[in-house]
Amino acid sequence: MSRNVFEALGNLLPDRGNDSDPPDDSSGSDYVQSDSSSEILGDLNVFPVGHEINSETRGLWISTIGMQKANGDTVVFIDTEGTDRYKKPLTPALQNRSQSWPEECFTIPRLGYVINKSLCQSTPSDFSVPSHDRFRPDFLWLIRDKQMKPIVDGRSVTANTFFQEKILKCWGGKRTLSEVFQECNCREIPLPATDHCFLAEMVENPQRVSQVFWETLKGVVSDILCKIRAKRTCSTDEVISGPKLATYMETLLQSFKTEREQIIRFLVAAFEEWFNVLLSFHNEDRKEPPLEEEQNESLEERKISKVSLREIEVMAVKKVQEDCSAQWDCLSYKDAADDPPQEIWKRIEDVCMKHRKKNKSESEAYCTKLVKCLSGDIHRNLYKNVHYTKTDFRMDLQRLECRYFHGASGPFKQKVFEKEKNELEQNFSLLQKDRQMASSVIKKNAALSREISQQRGTQLELEKQMERNRGRFKEEIQSEQFYFQEKEKELYNNHRKHLEDTKRSFERHKADSEKRMKAYLEKMALN
């Protein structure tokens, strides 16, 4: 992308001085900005988001850096503001309690703030073309509290079609905008309740929220997650995941929680459910406060027997083995060191020993951490040994199980192995059934193939017979045509001959009549 694109946008946008600052007609409450822009723009390894959101704002501005797509890196911009204050810049992405769809959008021409942020975050000072092409941003336009179908030229259209054909068309800069943003999409969110009277009761009574609202919101969340899922940064090989992604989402949650708008609270509830799952998985030191129901549980319900703990541990080890096997298939271990990574198996044994010494209530959490630690270690270390085969890998996994249960008692170990043996036998019997079913299917397919071949041969014979009949019919038609032509000629000649005979007979009769008349007249004259 060249600098001419941004110059063209500058000509379309109103002149308001330095675009990196909020315009003069805004109090700044509609922006989510860092107190130190250099602090955000200088760190490409985290997801930059504003330190705080003013409580008056009705939405959120999200900017992410270093996301990678199939065709290169990109930046994600999400603007979720309300259109009840649509005359301020960057407000119309989330339509707030609207009774109809806007015919015009006065704030689209002021997307220069978005464009300038994209430019200063993604492009070096020398305006190198390849660098900016990797960072072309995405723009998601959310329309909140949708009550009516959008209409363009008398026909109902989708939200995205309305955004593309109506709002962008009113501005007249659709082509230039498409050159700046990699994707410009629009999604709509209906009212959380069918009746406006229920809106005030939603905070105390979440059952009032309609199911359509939740399902639509999940679709919007899914779209956002497709944009912000863990990716590799463009400058390094570091993966943006784990604590960094969790920190970003926690900041996002805290920003949402500063809102005083009722609708935003329900947006928070939908986002928070997914964020808490991610936070609990990726951040080891972060623990969610227990719920009141969990605090009120009796001691008998919280007791866990050794057998159930061991079963949890067995599931954890099995999960480790599955994750390790999956990681092995994804590793590239060419051009690496020759020494096998013995330290990873030492770490496995140390973690397992530590795990057996922990309290019962923490057993399940440490099993999850065990799975995560081992998966990460294998992902980082196994590829270093070029001579480390998959057979060696599976043998080490078996030894891992022996090491893990080294401190277990004999009866329990026997019970676990018997259970595994029974599972293997069941799986083998199921496999035999599957093989028999597959064999019968193969036989049926062979019979069908033969039947199809026979039908194909019959079809070929029919086609040949039709071709022969077509030739015979053609000859008969030609013969009939020749016969009718000859017959027509004969009839024509006969008719012509008959006319000529009639003409000659008439002329003779006329001559005879004239002679008789002449004789009669002469006779009358003599008398």
DSSP codes of every residue in 103-123? S--TTGGGTHHHHHHHHHHHS
Q: Is the pLDDT of residue 329 over 50?
A: no
As a whole number, mean pLDDT of residues 448-477 equals: 90
Residue 512 domain-assigned (yes or no): no
Indicate the burial class of 197 (C-beta count within 10 angstroms; 0-12, 13-18, 19 or more).
Answer: exposed
Q: Is the pLDDT of residue 210 over 70?
A: yes
Confidence at 17, pLDDT banded by 50, 70, 90: very low
Note whether 158 and 108 are same-domain residues.
yes
Note whether 404 and 424 are same-domain residues.
no
Give the Cα-Cα-Cα angle 49, 52, 56 (nearest 5 degrees): 120
Domain-ending residue, one of 286, 318, 334? 286
The answer to pTM > 0.85 is no
Q: Which residues pair with 146 in a beta bridge?
A: 190
- Please give the residue that has the higher pLDDT: either 336 or 48: 336
Question: In this predicted structure, what is the pLDDT of residue 293?
Answer: 43
Residue 288 DSSP label? P
Q: Is the pLDDT of residue 163 over 60?
A: yes
Range of the domain at 269: 3-286
* Encoded tokens for 273: 């459910």
Computed over every residue of the chain, the mean pLDDT equals: 55
Note whether 184 and 251 are same-domain residues.
yes
Phi first, then psi: give them for residue 132, nearest 5 degrees. -75, -35
Question: In this predicted structure, what is the pLDDT of residue 258?
Answer: 44
Q: Euclidean distance between the first and final Cα of the chain, in Å? A: 130
Quick: pLDDT tens for 347-403.
555 545 554 444 344 444 544 455 455 545 444 444 444 444 555 555 555 555 554
Question: In this predicted structure, what is the pLDDT of residue 115?
Answer: 52
Note whether 418 and 398 are same-domain residues.
no
Q: Is the pLDDT of residue 464 over 60?
A: yes
Q: Is the pLDDT of residue 419 over 70?
A: no
Q: Are 115 and 106 in contact (CB under 8 A)?
A: no
d(CA 201, CA 207): 10
Nearest CA to 167 among 86, 234, 233? 86
Residue 511 domain-assigned (yes or no): no
Q: Which residues pair with 68 in a beta bridge?
A: 73
d(CA 433, CA 428): 9
Q: Are 259 and 291 in contact (CB under 8 A)?
A: no
Question: In this predicted structure, what is the pLDDT of residue 366?
Answer: 46
As a whole number, mean pLDDT of residues 464-493 equals: 90
Q: Is the pLDDT of residue 486 over 60?
A: yes
pLDDT cut 90: percent of the chain above it: 2
Q: Is the pLDDT of residue 126 over 50?
A: no
Nearest CA to 59 among 269, 346, 324, 261? 261
Residue 517 domain-assigned (yes or no): no
As a whole number, mean pLDDT of residues 480-488 equals: 90
Question: In this predicted structure, what is the pLDDT of residue 16?
Answer: 32
Note whether 186 and 73 are same-domain residues.
yes
**Residue 512: CB atoms within 10 Å:** 10
Question: In this predicted structure, what is the pLDDT of residue 147?
Answer: 61
Residue 519 domain-assigned (yes or no): no
82 CB contacts (<8 Å, ≥6 apart)? 58, 59, 91, 94, 95, 96, 144
Q: Is the pLDDT of residue 409 over 50?
A: no
Residue 348 domain-assigned (yes or no): yes
Confidence at 144, pLDDT banded by 50, 70, 90: low
Q: Is the pLDDT of residue 512 over 50?
A: yes
**Residue 374: CB atoms within 10 Å:** 25
* C-alpha to C-alpha distances, 208 to 143, 205, 388, 415, 481, nearest whole angstrom: 21, 6, 59, 50, 85
Nearest CA to 248 among 215, 278, 208? 278
* Encoded tokens for 239: 């993966």
Residue 291 domain-assigned (yes or no): no
Domain-ending residue, one of 388, 408, 428? 408
- Please give the residue that has the higher pLDDT: either 517 or 273: 517
Question: In this predicted structure, what is the pLDDT of residue 316?
Answer: 53
d(CA 31, CA 12): 22
d(CA 16, CA 110): 9
Note whether 395 and 418 are same-domain residues.
no
Indicate the burial class of 48 (C-beta count within 10 angstroms; 0-12, 13-18, 19 or more).
Answer: buried
- Please give the residue that has the higher pLDDT: either 450 or 357: 450
As a whole number, mean pLDDT of residues 14-30 equals: 32
Note whether 19 and 74 are same-domain residues.
yes
Q: Is the pLDDT of residue 263 over 80?
A: no
Note whether 403 and 418 are same-domain residues.
no
Question: In this predicted structure, what is the pLDDT of residue 215?
Answer: 77
- Please give the residue that has the higher pLDDT: either 315 or 386: 315
Most distant pair of Cα atoms in the chain: their distance: 171
Nearest CA to 341 among 308, 374, 306, 388? 388
Note whether 182 and 147 are same-domain residues.
yes
Note whether 316 and 236 are same-domain residues.
no
pLDDT cut 70: percent of the chain above it: 24
Note whether 379 and 477 are same-domain residues.
no
Nearest CA to 347 among 285, 409, 400? 400
Q: Is the pLDDT of residue 515 over 70?
A: yes
Q: Is the pLDDT of residue 192 over 60?
A: yes
Q: Is the pLDDT of residue 523 over 50?
A: yes
Nearest CA to 244 among 228, 267, 255, 226? 228
Q: Is the pLDDT of residue 27 over 50?
A: no
Q: Which residues pair with 254 in a beta bridge?
A: none
Nearest CA to 99 among 156, 145, 153, 57? 145
Note whether 356 and 429 are same-domain residues.
no
Residue 478 domain-assigned (yes or no): yes
Question: In this predicted structure, what is the pLDDT of residue 392?
Answer: 54
d(CA 392, CA 382): 11
Give how many domains the chain has, as a whole number.
3
As a whole number, mean pLDDT of residues 412-425 equals: 58
Residue 516 domain-assigned (yes or no): no
As a whole number, mean pLDDT of residues 475-494 equals: 90
How far is C-alpha 51 from the chain's CA centre? 30
Among 65-79, 364-378, 449-463, where is mean pLDDT lowest? 65-79
Q: Is the pLDDT of residue 137 over 60?
A: no
